[in-house]
Amino acid sequence: MEITVLIFLTSGLFLGWSLGANDAANVFGTAVASRMIQFTTAAIICSIFLILGAVISGAGAAHGLGALGKLNALPGAFMAAFSAALTVYWMTKMGLPVSTTQAIVGAIIGWNLFSGSITDTTALTKILGTWVACPILGAIFGALIYKLVMVTLNKSRIHLLRLDGYTRLGLILAGAFGSYSLGANNIGNVMGVFVSSSPFSDFSIAGLFTMTSIQQLFLLGAIAIGVGVFTYSKRVMMTVGDGILPLTPVGAWVVVISHSIVLFLFSSITLEHFLASNGLPTIPLIPVSSSQAVVGAVIGIGLLKGGKGIKWGVLGNIASGWVTTPIIASIVCFVMLFFLQNVFNQVVYHEVRYVLSEPVLEHLEKSGVSVSVLTPLKDREVVGGMPFRDAVREVQPRLPGELEEKILDAAEIYPMSIDMYRKIEKIDTEFLSTIQIEALEALSGRKFDHKWQLYDALSSKTSAWRKLEKNKLNKPFNQHLNEQLEYIYSLFHQMDRNSIAR
């Protein structure tokens, strides 16, 4: 295990600590502030289920590299995670609930600006849209569920002592589920950038089960989250649970349930498949802010009561934190990348090159792209996504965004060498099927210069690597397959630009 890898891992641990210090408020803040559950009890339950969620269910989310940016150097990934963690820490110190996802998005955009990489505006627009929709949905669910619960309680006339017991149990169960989901959904933000360079090796425990290298990595990050819960989360819990609107115990339970429903809507592949199969509009599977969902649910209950108890000053501070978090993280990342590269002589990004060679033009033509206007750029190698995009726009100024993205993806030089002997221990056998791994083994020794070349080779071996026709019904399958492909591309990527496809 290289010492440099361990040093770079510290930023992931710092980000995990920051997440635990801040986002724990989203699942137990209302329960602690309403004095239904003691802080120590909440911290123990939250930490245990955070770790379980991260280790058991965190792998799938972490393999999706995301469309916003592709951090291709470990020092750059370190600085992006460190910048996000530092931003979340500042907001936590101020007692403001912010989202780790917001901070990571800002840091990735900062890295894109520094490296000259392209930020996918379509993906960014979807993410920004969820930041608006998330608190609104939280408010709607909070108001509806609170109204339904209060009507039910008034009709049932449950004794106060029994109601108190039910509420405490409900808060514990809802908090445990919320903590598990938080760990599963956010461990990818904390340690996902380090998956391809995990320093751990798989090992078996008493022959009962195998602890993969990725699970060990996530366990390390989850422990850091748990430490953050214990050491620094109480202040944010009080802001969420009592700072915006004083809540009754029942109101606290409603907030936790509403928050969980919102997260489920934006993260359930099963729900998306159900909607698509019935011809209904699907909800984008995008990581959303649990902080925004909780705050929205609290506001929904407050508005249902007439809005008199809402502390609008506190709410304004929280909203300003939502706006400034990604901006601060982006600026901090950009500035610190400059120092890391020029003062400490670290490679914070690897140059990405593009070329419209004859094989690339043939591939584009087969996929329906008219390549006649692109011939002036034939065999011209361009460094950087933004310069290449500008070159394409010079010869074809009004190219639709979808076609422009297709050209960029096809022309990117991304050399890969399928060396199964050296990478066999790194392959996640839970993320890839046996058939998919066998197809990879059949390509052992082959080299590829473009991602689409490897995809074509894999899809010709088995349908398990083949995308289905584009429609709503097949969307979940194709999304999962794209995550698997990006995982494979990263695993076999070679920094040597002189590789030749065969």
| Residues 118 and 385 sit within 8 Å (Cβ to Cβ) | yes
> Does position 499 have pLDDT exceeding 50, yes or no?
no
Tally Cβ neighbours within 10 Å of residue 331: 17
138 lies in some domain: yes
Mark whether 236 and 254 lie in a shared domain.
Answer: yes
Mark whether 195 and 221 lie in a shared domain.
Answer: yes
- Give the model's pLDDT for residue 198: 61
Strand partners, 356: 378
Give the mean model confidence (pLDDT) for residues 325-336: 95
SS3 449: coil
145 lies in some domain: yes
How many distinct structural domains can be found in the chain?
Answer: 3
CA contacts within 13 A on the Cβ side of 237: 28
Residue 116 Ramachandran class (φ > 0 left, ψ -120 to 50 alpha, else beta): left
Query: Burial level of 259, CB count in 10 A (0-12/13-18/19+)?
Result: buried
pLDDT band at 65 (very low <50, low <70, confident <90, very high): very low
> Does position 476 have pLDDT exceeding 60, yes or no?
yes
Mark whether 222 and 338 lie in a shared domain.
Answer: yes
Mark whether 315 and 380 lie in a shared domain.
Answer: no
Residues 230-279: pLDDT tens digits?
Answer: 888 877 777 665 666 777 888 888 888 888 788 778 766 667 667 766 77
Give the mean model confidence (pLDDT) for residues 69-96: 84
Which of 16-25, 361-370, 382-391, 490-499 is predicted with the least confidence, judged by mean pLDDT? 490-499
Closest C-alpha among 321, 381, 7 to residue 194: 7
Angle at 247 between CA 243 and CA 250, to 5 degrees: 150
Measured CA distances, 327 to 20, 317, 418 (Å): 22, 16, 39
Give the mean model confidence (pLDDT) for residues 94-105: 80
Contacts of 499 (CB under 8 A, 6+ apart): 415, 416, 417, 447, 448, 449
Mark whether 449 and 324 lie in a shared domain.
Answer: no
Mark whether 430 and 291 lie in a shared domain.
Answer: no
Instruction: Report residue 428 as tokens.
Output: 């996640």
9 lies in some domain: yes
Closest C-alpha among 283, 165, 222, 204 to residue 23: 222
pLDDT band at 356 (very low <50, low <70, confident <90, very high): very high
Interatomic CA distance for residues 46 and 52, integer angstroms: 10
As a residue count, the chain comes to 502
260 lies in some domain: yes
Domain range for 122 is 3-342
- Give the model's pLDDT for residue 160: 83
Residues 400-414: pLDDT tens digits?
Answer: 878 888 999 999 999
> Does position 451 have pLDDT exceeding 90, yes or no?
yes
Interatomic CA distance for residues 374 and 376, integer angstroms: 6
500 lies in some domain: no
Q: Point out the domain boundary residue: 342, 364, 399.
A: 342
Give the mean model confidence (pLDDT) for residues 322-341: 94
- Give the model's pLDDT for residue 388: 93
13 lies in some domain: yes
> Does position 18 have pLDDT exceeding 50, yes or no?
yes
User: Residues of the chain with pLDDT > 90: what percent?
Assistant: 28
- Give the model's pLDDT for residue 131: 84
Contacts of 115 (CB under 8 A, 6+ apart): 76, 348, 349, 384
Instruction: Report residue 494 as tokens.
Output: 């070679």
Mean pLDDT score of the chain: 83
Considering 62-76, 120-134, 374-388, the range whose residues carry the highest mean pLDDT is 374-388
| Residues 206 and 212 sit within 8 Å (Cβ to Cβ) | no
- Give the model's pLDDT for residue 58: 65
Strand partners, 382: 354
Give the mean model confidence (pLDDT) for residues 173-195: 77
Residue 353 Ramachandran class (φ > 0 left, ψ -120 to 50 alpha, else beta): beta
The label of the residue with tokens 């159900």 reads 274
β-pair type (203-205, 209-211): antiparallel
Mark whether 319 and 468 lie in a shared domain.
Answer: no
- Give the model's pLDDT for residue 358: 95
Instruction: Report residue 25 as tokens.
Output: 């408020």
**pLDDT, greater one: 16 or 206:** 16
Angle at 111 between CA 109 and CA 115, to 5 degrees: 120
Interatomic CA distance for residues 101 and 185, integer angstroms: 10
SS3 383: strand
Considering 36-45, 50-59, 306-315, 463-472, the range whose residues carry the highest mean pLDDT is 36-45
Interatomic CA distance for residues 332 and 287, integer angstroms: 22
Mark whether 264 and 202 lie in a shared domain.
Answer: yes
Interatomic CA distance for residues 220 and 210, integer angstroms: 16
Mark whether 373 and 245 lie in a shared domain.
Answer: no
| Residues 221 and 192 sit within 8 Å (Cβ to Cβ) | no
499 lies in some domain: no
> Does position 199 have pLDDT exceeding 50, yes or no?
yes
- Give the model's pLDDT for residue 442: 94
Give the mean model confidence (pLDDT) for residues 322-342: 94
| Residues 446 and 497 sit within 8 Å (Cβ to Cβ) | no
Give the mean model confidence (pLDDT) for residues 12-24: 82
Angle at 481 between CA 480 and CA 483, to 5 degrees: 65
Strand partners, 448: 416
Instruction: Report residue 284 as tokens.
Output: 């984008």
231 lies in some domain: yes
Q: Point out the domain boundary residue: 362, 391, 411.
A: 411
Mark whether 67 and 193 lie in a shared domain.
Answer: yes
Mark whether 170 and 125 lie in a shared domain.
Answer: yes
Closest C-alpha among 297, 53, 50, 37 to residue 172: 37
> Does position 289 have pLDDT exceeding 70, yes or no?
yes
pLDDT band at 285 (very low <50, low <70, confident <90, very high): low
